[in-house]
Amino acid sequence: MGLSTFKRGVHPPYRKELAHDAAIEVMPAPEVVRIPLLQHIGAPAKPIVERGAQVKMGQPVAEAQGFVSVPAHASVSGKVKAIKQFPHPYGRNLAAVEIENDGQNELHESVKPPENPFALNPRDIVEMVRKAGIVGMGGAAFPTHVKLSPPEGKKIHTIILNGAECEPYLTCDYRMMIERPRPMIEGAKIIKEVVGAERIFIGIENNKPEAIETMRHETASEDNIEVVPLKTKYPQGSELQLIKAVLNLALPKSKLPLEAGVVVQNVGTACAVYELIHEGKPLYERVLTITGEAVKTPKNLLVRIGTPLSEIIKFAGGTNGRLKKLIMGGPMMGLAQYSDQVPVIKGTSGVLLLGEQDFDRNQESPCIRCARCEMHCPAYIAPSRIAQAVRYGNLDIAQKLNIMECIECGSCAYVCPSKIPLVHYFRVGKADIMSMKQKKE
């Protein structure tokens, strides 16, 4: 029987070997952190501290605005220096709370485990997850409490723990599965009980045999937990593609997994849920990978939220003089950065430093109608036709061609011989369509 997978997709160079064997290190907190108010899908948080205030580690510094929103917490103890706009990973200056670290690492009084974690009911846990600011840690940063709140009468039968980590270069999820399998599994069991699911699947690509073996060993005595080896293919870790691979269940993007009785969570998110319930810890730090041919020492690090990328690069030995592109995330879906002063946010899974030889600088040329983008698109849309419609302002045509079904995985741009920045057109088109809808409303 073959490995589980989905149809289409691509096989980029994975380059996992650069940081594959680097055990997770705890990076010292920087002298200053900047906690962005927008670190997740949904409405940004609203600051609840003032300039000059003394704060402690784990203390809320911003509150959620609405259901699809989460609070932000101080990742160090110290004084609030400023609340203003700073460089942000999304490519522009956005509001953040700047805190000067006093070096004391003093925990806030609220950071403590409940007296009896096993007496908590599902509603209590969902509220704790919301207040802790936990979001999906695979990159999308969707508020976790929303996923743990299925519509009334909607039965959730399956939890899928996403350990695919299909993005090239990145190895932080792999190292967590090797080094912290028990908290991950216990976190998944908490999620399972909260939504009333019957079973848990853990999907891991087969280029991570040590992780598969470790997770199988840890779950050998567990009922209703199965480790599913997946074929190594990008974007195997995308939610809809993962559901197809694990359950052989095809969902249109317009239908949420919750509607099909499935909840997908990243392995790092499961760990965060465990640490919250058993340690009382909100999400103020995360594991990430710093890697690439232009950094001296690739590493997997536990880093405080709000740490400037410059500090992480320095901790990894700096660059080797060949740096040409700095990316937050991986090479396929990550965002190129204009400054190394942007901070780590909750969805930062990687810091990638590429040299001249690591990316193609050829100029865009006209589409040659080869249809490679369609042949590799896992969402079954027509990327070149959609891009052309957006380019010429034909948003109605773009919508008819299902632009909103695009998962922005970058497979189309990767195989395009004309080097057309297809994902760029999709993002612009989606933003314009959403803006038009908001104006009408």
- Of the candidates 260, 279, 298, which is a domain's last residue? 279
Asked if the structure places residue 165 within a domain, the reply is: yes
- pTM of full prediction above 0.75: yes
CATH at 217: 3.40.50.11540
Q: Please state, in angstroms and as integers, the Cα–Cα distance from residue 239 to each residue in 203, 215, 409, following that order.
A: 11, 20, 11
Bridge partners of 85, per DSSP, are 95
Q: Nearest 5°: CA angle at 416, between 413 and 419? A: 80
Residues 387, 265: one domain? no
- Of the candidates 245, 279, 313, which is a domain's last residue? 279
H-only helix segments in 170-219:
172-179, 181-195, 209-219
For 123, residues 6+ apart whose C-beta sits below 8 A from its C-beta are: none
Phi, psi of 70 (to 5 degrees): -140, 155
- DSSP tag of 103: S
For 346, residues 6+ apart whose C-beta sits below 8 A from its C-beta are: 39, 40, 133, 135, 137, 141, 283, 286, 305
Chain segment 255-314, per-residue pLDDT in tens: 788 888 999 999 999 999 999 999 999 999 999 999 999 999 999 999 999 999 999 999
Q: Average pLDDT, whole number, for the chain?
A: 94
Residues 260, 152: one domain? yes
DSSP string, 385-430: HHHHHHHTT-HHHHHHTTGGG-----HHHHH-TT---HHHHHHHHH
Residues 133, 240: one domain? yes
Phi, psi of 35 (to 5 degrees): -95, 100
Residue recorded with tokens 């990687």:
350
User: Per the structure block, which two tokens stand in for 284?
Assistant: 């103020």
Q: What is the mean pLDDT of residues 200-223?
A: 96
Asked if the structure places residue 367 within a domain, the reply is: no
pLDDT band at 205 (very low <50, low <70, confident <90, very high): very high
Q: Which domain holds residue 428?
A: 372-440
Q: Is the peptide bond before 122 cis (omega within 30 degrees of 0)?
A: no
